[in-house]
Structure 1
Amino acid sequence: MHSADVGNDSSDNDVLWHNLDIEQVFDKLSTSHNGLSNDECQTRLDQYGSNELEGKKKRHPVLKMIDHFRDPMVYLLMAAAIIAFIADKEDKGTPIFIVLALSLNAIFSYIQERKAEEAMDSLKKLLVSNCVVMRDGIEQQISTNQLVPGDIVWLDEGLNVPADIRLIEVHQLSIDESSLTGESEVIYKDPMKCSAEALLHERENIAYMGTVVSSGRAKGVVISTGMQTKLGDIASGLSHVETPKTPLEIKLASLGRFLGIIAVITAIVLVLFNIVIALLGGATGPMLKEILSEQFLIAVVIFVAIVPEGLPIILVITLALGMQNMSAKNAIISRMKVVETLGSATIICTDKTGTLTRNEMSVRSFFCGDAVYEVTGSGFNPNVGELRIDSKSITESAMANLKVDRGFQLATACTLLCQNSIIREDHNEWTAIGNPTDSACAVFGWKVLEDGELFRRKHPRFSEFTFDRNRKRMTTIHEYDGSRWVFSKGAIGPYLPRITHVVDNNHIIPISDTHRQRIGEVNLQMATKALRVIALTARPLSADENMDDVDSVENGLIFLGL
């Protein structure tokens, strides 16, 4: 089937994707579990365009320049210039000054806002989010705007759903669809097909663009992108909403109308008053005409004097200085008059992750075997950093002894096995694909033991219980040391009643109150340093135990470290 027959085609807009089996979806989209080829993706990208919501079309620079003349204050000044030119053609200084002032105001404003637009465009290129897809049978990380119908995509907790996706595999997945449906409760997803009559919020096998993964993870196939998604339908109805005027624009418009009214009334009253006096004094004919001409000129002078022709220039200079001060603090202002609006703000609400921080986590401290180690290095490069104790590097022989310690072996194995991140080097830059906490654990495990992907191949996974906000932990079951082992990591609090043993001097023994007190002390020390504390646990799983019973699997755990 050719790419013209897939999801974004108008002939498929009414396809009931939720009512199709997975194989039917694959057939309709000409794709498979191995994803599309890179060549086919490029073909579909050329055909359907980027996976982006269309905003307002960019206006021509000339129209943007004209916008700076559309202001009641500017209209008033232009009227003053025209009247001054007509009333006294010999005095060209006043109208020329007014026109020059208005032109400089418009040009300077346009240049400043153009620079801001260029800076914003550069930032938008840097802020494009990424997702993990399967192409040519290989997992790749790409920008979400490069997604096309038929792509196989992974969803993880905390990520925004990048397109409308028909789910294929689900691992305890719940999605917050409040931005789309208004429902406050999360929706638990299931890959099985739904009835044809299912409403939007009842389609449990579809994840919609713009919604957020609350917990769990999943794999799915993209069925619609960009403006063809459900969110795109909403965006198309909002694209013509006008931007409200800033408080400064409202005040200037009010001031312009007020001064215009005052100038006109004053001029008219003054002219009429002098004409009446002249008539009462017996002025007639040529004398009256001369008086009228003289009074009209006086009225024009009053009109021009009342209008503050220097105000626009002063205003632009003041706002431009404000923009420069903001840019010095790495803040970009799109329109100059917004500077005054920002100054009026009393409360600013902002997202922390990715805005105030880089969303790159690194392990800083490691507690294992009653010793607290420092971990150096930041970022995702596993070749940078080491374990230290008391601010001193660990010797090679001491590190060799650690690697044969039973508790250390299990703890580092837990960091490498109980996570789903991929750490790899791409164009001399180390990157991580996956949850930030998982990525930090994977990098740490690689630093002290070995490559996480190689280690996972040696110890294949049987099952997984993904992290959720109720249990506050993630658990996986692997082949380890010739038997089945449970590895679990998460917040220490919910683990305490489930931990029954510890590793002490290479022996697994029942946990005592002394052990619990020591764990609490170290946990408090780490927490007071503003560190996110993760407990590492494990236990062997006997052959007759049910691997699908999460409550049973996560009981009788061995504490390994923090």
Structure 2
Amino acid sequence: MYTKWYQLEEKEIFRSLDTSERGLSSSEVERRLNTYGPNQLPEPEAISRLRILIHQFTSPLIYILIVAAGVTAFLGEYIDTGVITAILIINAAIGYFQEYKAETSVRALKGMVVPRTKVIREGKEQEIPSERLVPGDIVLLASGMRVPADLRLLKATELKIEEAALTGESVPIEKRTEVIVEENLTPGDQTNMAFMGTIVVGGRAKGVVVETGSKTVLGQIAHEVKSLAVTETPLQQKINRFARFIGLLVLGSALAICALGFILGMGIAEIFKIAVAASVAAVPEGLPVVVTITMAIGINRMAKRNAIIRKLPAVETLGSTTVICSDKTGTLTKNEMTVKVVHDTHQTYEVTGSGYDPEGQVLRDWESCDISALDGVCGVLRIGMLCNESRLEREDGQYRVDGDPTEGALIVSAMKAGLQLEEEKKRYPQLSIIPFESERGFMATLHAMDGKKLILAKGAPEKIIEMCSQAAGGSPLDKER
């Protein structure tokens, strides 16, 4: 029975899914995994070696060569039969080897790239592979994430989701958590839902998983388009047209030879042999293997540039491409950021070290200084550490950041100045947050401090300066300078 999750209150949802804001227990997760299965769309049936081999003989030109080999064998022309058969075997072997190697490489890459998502289970936030999500899981969404399953939103802070993959709507949709009473709404109108495969372009949210895998909206679409026919590549279309032309040419030539033989009074057996010989001679036996070898060379050249081509004809299709549009985001190196210089409106400090390892120092005029001399810069670094949504973790002796690389660099720079994240969080507990968005240009957090409220903000210089009335220490602020 289809449940209209967008019409249900939060308590009804928790009751229907037998869950809570603390999330599910480990034993319950395993039970539901056995019941609902992994959270992944049905993958196409694995291509067996036999199917890859058979695929090498599915070209009309190959059909003509097979017929020619049979006819020459029937006539006792075993040398011609052997040549044609050898060409068929060489062509099939090259095509099989290349496609099988590409197929195994692609599956190995899929195994290396495992999507992960943040959930709350047993009251603790943790990161898990997306395929282990089950209905009832509590999921945390942040800007830049891909929604891992169909979610009913419980909390949302300026959440915007791009749903072009489902609805075709290019403008991100603003999401909210209020119940919608209307009946029979399309996914695009269910503004308190987040659907699998869509992308969070802004804001933060918490939601409960209501559908996974093939039962999601995306899964239903995938099931409907599964029966669509695969379009032939330009090269396959050209070869098929050429094969039909060769077939008609051979048939027309054979009929013409037969007619001429009857006119000249030749015997039926002699006419048949001449017609068959002329037909076999008209077939370009070497063309399939030449095309296959040429495409195999292209595949090897692409592989040296770290590009895997699964099907041989795709090489020609890629070669026919005239315009490639690409979008680069992030960094092209290790995706690690490092703070090198800090200015506190009075003094400039240098920060040593690189990457996310907190080993390093904060120097003044390139000289070491006592921690007491860092009071001013510690205030700046404390803002970077607390006005932050990322975490620094250590795994197998290596430090890594769970979150934005820039925010990770701010945490590391503060630790180099002697600040400890957990101690600072206890000293200044966070009460609320305004997450960073490119449209807003800044991020702010509200903290408690000795019975008072403290607002910390970081962002684009022009945005932060607009909010300021004076510089650190109470000195006047020259905004123009």
> Deviation of residue 100 (structure 1)?
2.5
Q: What is the distance in 2 between the residues matched to 1:119 and 1:389?
A: 52
CA contact (8 A) 2:446 2:456 kept: yes
The alignment yields a C-alpha RMSD, in angstroms, of 2.5
**Other-structure match for 2:81:** 95
Change (3 A) 1:140 1:124: same
What are the Cα deviations for residues 87-126 of structure 1, in whole angstroms up to 9, with x where unaligned? 2x1x312112212221232232122111111111111122
**Does residue 475 of structure 2 align to residue 509 of structure 1?**
yes
CA contact (8 A) 2:394 2:400 kept: yes
User: Given the alignment, which residue of 133, 137, 150 partners 2:123?
Assistant: 137
SS of match in other structure, 1:334: coil
> Deviation of residue 386 (structure 1)?
5.1
> Deviation of residue 65 (structure 1)?
1.8
User: Given the alignment, which residue of 249, 268, 279 partners 1:303?
Assistant: 279
Change (3 A) 1:388 1:107: farther
**Does residue 432 of structure 2 align to residue 433 of structure 1?**
no
Q: What is the distance in 1 between the residues matched to 2:422 and 2:155?
A: 22
SS of match in other structure, 2:151: strand
Matches within 5 A, 1:206-217: 206-217=193-204
CA contact (8 A) 1:422 1:453 kept: no
> Deviation of residue 358 (structure 1)?
6.8
What are the Cα deviations for residues 410-430 of structure 1, in whole angstroms up to 9, with x where unaligned? 211111111111221234443
CA contact (8 A) 1:382 1:444 kept: no
SS of match in other structure, 2:475: strand
Change (3 A) 1:346 1:452: farther
SS of match in other structure, 1:240: coil
What are the Cα deviations for residues 165-189 of structure 1, in whole angstroms up to 9, with x where unaligned? 1122222222222332333443332
Report the TM-score when normalising by structure 2.
0.91
Matches within 5 A, 1:41-120: 41-87=29-75, 89=76, 91-120=77-106
CA contact (8 A) 1:16 1:196 kept: no
Change (3 A) 1:497 1:326: same
Matches within 5 A, 1:97-496: 97-195=83-181, 197=183, 199=185, 200-276=187-263, 278-279=264-265, 288-289=266-267, 292-353=268-329, 357=332, 360-369=335-344, 370-371=347-348, 373=350, 376-378=353-355, 381-384=356-359, 394-396=366-368, 398=369, 400-404=371-375, 406=376, 408-480=377-449, 483-496=452-465
Q: What is the distance in 2 between the residues matched to 1:225 and 1:145?
A: 9
Change (3 A) 1:169 1:416: same
Change (3 A) 1:233 1:411: same
CA contact (8 A) 2:371 2:418 kept: no
SS of match in other structure, 1:103: helix
Q: What is the distance in 1 between the residues matched to 2:358 and 2:465?
A: 34
SS of match in other structure, 2:160: strand
1:491 is aligned with what amino acid?
A: A
Q: What is the distance in 2 between the residues matched to 1:264 and 1:207?
A: 61
What are the Cα deviations for residues 330-369 of structure 1, in whole angstroms up to 9, with x where unaligned? 1111111111111111222234237x84783413443313
Report the TM-score when normalising by structure 1.
0.79
Q: What is the distance in 2 between the residues matched to 1:197 and 1:359?
A: 49
> Deviation of residue 456 (structure 1)?
1.8
Q: What is the distance in 2 between the residues matched to 1:436 and 1:181?
A: 32
**Other-structure match for 1:6:** none
> Deviation of residue 17 (structure 1)?
1.8
Q: What is the distance in 2 between the residues matched to 1:84 and 1:111?
A: 29
CA contact (8 A) 2:382 2:419 kept: no
Q: What is the distance in 2 between the residues matched to 1:80 and 1:483?
A: 92
> Deviation of residue 22 (structure 1)?
1.6
**Does residue 14 of structure 2 align to residue 37 of structure 1?**
no
Q: What is the distance in 1 between the residues matched to 2:413 and 2:123?
A: 28
Q: How much identity, in percent, do the aligned residues show?
A: 33
SS of match in other structure, 2:180: coil
Change (3 A) 1:475 1:93: same
> Deviation of residue 382 (structure 1)?
3.1
> Deviation of residue 481 (structure 1)?
6.6
> Deviation of residue 157 (structure 1)?
0.9
Q: What is the distance in 2 between the residues matched to 1:399 and 1:293?
A: 108
CA contact (8 A) 2:358 2:412 kept: no
CA contact (8 A) 2:442 2:457 kept: yes
Give unpaired runs (5+ residues) of structure 2: none
Q: What is the distance in 2 between the residues matched to 1:367 and 1:177?
A: 40
Count of aligned pairs between the two proteins: 478
* 4+ runs deviating over 6 angstroms: none
SS of match in other structure, 1:444: helix
2:61 is aligned with what amino acid?
A: M
Q: What is the distance in 2 between the residues matched to 1:425 and 1:155?
A: 23
> Deviation of residue 222 (structure 1)?
0.8
Q: What is the distance in 1 between the residues matched to 2:65 and 2:362?
A: 71
